[in-house]
Structure 1
């Protein structure tokens, strides 16, 4: 999993909504320097993951659907990119010609699985609220 620009911007969207009852997309974009088309795409994924709630109509907009005391970076990143792998060979759908070659498992693969697991644990370690309150 490389943290993509889309993942980074999703955190920005959540940060913009923090402490707000409801914001329009244009307000989110202005607060966090995100383009509107990109914000809509991100908000759609965050809404599908039930991280944000969308409101229609004249007074529409978006708000956080759950408290930041429950939400982690992992939750946001996985909402945007559910298949977060640091390298493609960790994807179960990927077929590596070197794994199992000569009857031996790929030892590099085994180490990368440990690295991936550690990264996931670190992303789950703190809530967004804990991160925001450190400042």
Structure 2
């Protein structure tokens, strides 16, 4: 499985929106500037994310994009699948759909299937909130969204 630049950037954009979830709509230019991406490229990514129902856009002076749900409701795989064709690590099935003639005898196919299912399970269970925690730990700076959650939990 190879994740394209668009897939990696989609994850970065969603992480940025998660971090700023409590602020409402975020302008494309702000996202682009913070993530050092072109506004046009961010707009292309947002179009895909909007069509998938992961974000919602608003026009106007206070417009932009925001998540349609809280960050804990988004898995990494859900985001990546918007921009990527989820390919196997070692495609043992040709494009025509017929299995490789050695598939039933080949142990490496089983190994690659195990790797594939392990990675898919990890990405299915890793949420934007998990990534925000990882980012907070790595950078040593408090996350705006996690601080907000912490405040809510104290009430």
Greater helix content: 2
CA shift in 2, pair 1:98/1:107, >3 Å: farther
Structure with greater contact order relative to length (CA < 8 Å, sep ≥ 6): 2
Q: How far apart, CA to CA, are the structure 1 residues paired with 2:104 and 2:3?
A: 31
Q: How far apart, CA to CA, are the structure 2 residues paired with 1:36 and 1:86?
A: 32
CA shift in 2, pair 1:99/1:126, >3 Å: same
Give the match's secondary structure for 1:85.
Answer: coil
Give the match's secondary structure for 1:2.
Answer: coil
Give the match's secondary structure for 1:89.
Answer: coil
Structure 1 match to 2:71: 68
Mean Cα deviation higher: 22-31 or 12-21: 12-21
| 1:89–1:95 contact (8 Å) kept in structure 2 | no
Give the match's secondary structure for 2:66.
Answer: strand
TM-score of the pair, normalised by structure 2: 0.73
Aligned length: 132
Note the aligned Cα RMSD (angstroms).
2.4
Paired residues for 1:1-135 under 5 Å:
1-18=1-18, 19=20, 20-81=23-84, 83-87=85-89, 89=91, 94-95=95-96, 99-101=100-102, 104-134=104-134, 135=136
Structure 1: where are the runs of 5+ without partners? none
